[in-house]
Amino acid sequence: MIIKLEPEILQAVEKPARYTGHELNAVHKDWESTPCHFALALPDVYEVGMSNLGLKILYEVLNAREDTACERVYAPWIDMEEIMRQRQIPLFSLESFHAIKEFDFLGFSLQYEMIYSNVLNMLDLAGIPIWSRDRGENDPFIVGGGPCVYNTEPIADFFDFFIVGEGEELICETVDVFRSWQEAGKPEGRQGLLKRLAVLDGIYVPSFYNVTYNQQGLFADIEPACPEAKPVIYKRLIKDMDSVRFVEKPVLPYIDIVHDRIMLELFRGCTRGCRFCQAGTSYRPVRERSKDRLRELARKLIDSTGYNEMSLTSLSSADYSCLGELVDDLFSDFKDEKVSFSLPSLRIDSFSIDLAHKMQQVRKSGLTFAPEAGTQRLRDVINKGVTEENLMAATEAAFRQGWKQVKLYFMMGLPTETDEDIVGIAKLAEKVARKYKEVTGRWGVTVTISVSCFVPKPHTPFQWYGQLPEAEFHRRQRLLKDSITERAVKFNYHDARVSVLEGAIARGDRKIAQVIYQAWKDGAKFDGWNDLFKNDVWHEAFAKCGIDLHLYNERAREPEEKLPWEHTTPGVSKEFLLREYDKAIKEQLTEDCRRGKCSACGVCPSLKAKVVDWRRENV
């Protein structure tokens, strides 16, 4: 079924270009002659989905295959959804406008927990049964990937399988298995394909496992229920970043998107070891692309898009070992083309300031640093590894080179945090503001502090820690606001109500699926958007399902307790996480294994991987 949107439909919605397709570099293949059809989805609006680098990569990887047509689909905004439901228009792809229900696979990129209600809404709009157990032989296989796969249990019953870890190689192996099963006549139907997929490293098929609970109703264990299912699913890892396919011809939108620029991925992984950071554990070890390969990719990206801005992206871009030389080379390569370069994250040191000065000589936008905590004691607890002196030296260097806008990121609710730590955020921000007056002799600086509410995440040293109650987050937010006396300091804070729900879902088990389903039935969607978030709907959903929200977000887990996410692992050992938790309580630091001694996290031996650092390789 091919969907045709009448002109009056497009005229009735806020941004019709979200639904028209036909963008430059979009790939169009003949539907009938292509045996595998794969829809890639990000369950958010077009502008957000089109900014996701992971989906851009997989789009090119799959479309490089002659046997596969990969197409895109995003969540329609509320105005378009209303029209689609009124006129019974099913969810469709942006390349061929085929109904999503007709694809072989529908793959969702799961970026954060509060996006789950949109997954259900998109399945419903597509006419696909929401629960995996209700799907028939003609329904697509629903696939999940992305950062949230390290605890998929709250959504396990909605998905046929998950890709755990990095997907460039595994998604092609998935298509290979599908084609073999397809050509053999689809033996054993859906179950037959899932059994074949389950033996692949990095594939998790939730329906092949039995979950048990104890007398208190808490998660007790999860065990394989068939021979194909593995007791532990380790993430898949790209070991050679130079050889793996990267984006060379990204699809160009007709409207502004969230990240409307080229993204050049320098490396994957971060071993700085911040104890709150799930990305820091789930993407280990560090694997860099070579400088020559990055220059080659940059050239191809500029030529295929016409963009004049490129972001050098990674978890901690300034940690790229050859960054200075790379930036010099890129400026030389594009000196006549007026291409600008940016770093999304900076280390708090003078090298980063000098580099930022070089990269922003034409227009100095704001600088962003992430001290994360207001006192040195708490920064040691979270293993941040930076001092107040580092921050003051960096901001002084920045102010001397002309910057007058600084953003500082913090968290509140971290383990062992006290009111003194909260007040310390205000004091630190005010010191930065006064440093500008000291350097320039005048006022005129803007120091913006952005403070999020800490959410304990699986596979981090703080996964056992009980999250703060909502009321306590609000109290600490008021305390911080009252502690700020300098007019130059601006205070932004996250909605604690959302963070509390995120905390419950992030460490949830399969019982939480009923809550997500109930909340969606009662109108929850676009929960990451402040103006559409329905807090009452979510709390009522917990109540209707007879599930105690506080049991999931506020309860501290015991070290010996079985956790719902331990069978889908990034390779970091439980022993390492417990050691790090103990060191956090003792306010002890752990050095970065990339530059110091091995911290015995377990990733390299369990995944047969190694750090790839081009500076070290060429010493």
- Quick one: pLDDT at residue 318? 86
Burial of 448 (0-12, 13-18, 19+ CB in 10 A): middle
- Same CATH topology for 7-234 and 354-511+547-557: the answer is no
Is 80 exceeded by the pLDDT of residue 461? Answer: yes
**pLDDT classification of 465: cutoffs 50, 70, 90:** very high
Please determine, for residue 521, whether its predicted confidence score (pLDDT) is greater than 60: yes
Domain 354-511+547-557 belongs to what topology?
Answer: Transcription Regulator spoIIAA (3.30.750)
- Residue type for position 188: E
Lowest mean pLDDT among 246-255, 544-553, 588-597: 588-597
Q: Scan for tokens 């509390």, then name that residue.
A: 500
3-state class (DSSP) for residue 204: strand
Q: Which fold has domain 7-234?
A: Rossmann fold (3.40.50)
Give the single-character DSSP code of 182. H
Nearest to 513 by CA among 564, 585, 576, 437: 564
Q: Are the beta carbons of 421 and 377 closer than 8 angstroms?
A: yes
**pLDDT tier, 350 (very low <50, low <70, confident <90, very high otherwise):** low
d(CA 619, CA 617): 6
Instruction: Tell me the pLDDT tens digit for each residue of 51-90.
Output: 999 999 999 999 999 999 999 999 999 999 999 999 999 9
Whole-number Å distance between alpha carbons of 140 and 136 = 9
Tell me what the mean pLDDT of segment 181-198 comes to.
97
Percentage, residues of the chain above pLDDT 70: 98
Q: Is the pLDDT of residue 359 over 80?
A: no
25-45 average pLDDT score? 97
Q: Does the structure show a pLDDT above 90 at 225?
A: yes
CB atoms within 10 A of CB 468: 23
Residue 364 has pLDDT above 70, yes or no: no
- The structure's pTM equals 0.95
Cα–Cα dist 6/311, whole Å:
38
CA 297 to chain CA centroid, nearest Å: 23
Cβ pair 238, 232 in contact under 8 A: no
- Residue-level pLDDT at 340: 87
pLDDT score of 223: 97
Q: What is the pLDDT of residue 459?
A: 97
Q: Where are the domains of the chain?
A: 7-234, 354-511+547-557
Average pLDDT, the chain: 94
Residue identified by tokens 């040293």 is: 461
Judged against a pLDDT cut of 80, whether residue 361 lies above it is answered with: no
pLDDT the model gives residue 344? 79
- Of 407, 411, 337, 408, nearest in space to 378 by CA: 411
pLDDT over 80 at 91, yes or no: yes
Q: Is the pLDDT of residue 353 over 90?
A: no
| 50 vs 213: CA distance, rounded Å | 40
Alpha carbon 61 to chain centroid, angstroms: 20
- For residue range 92-136, list pLDDT tens digits in order: 999 999 999 999 999 999 999 999 999 999 999 999 999 999 999
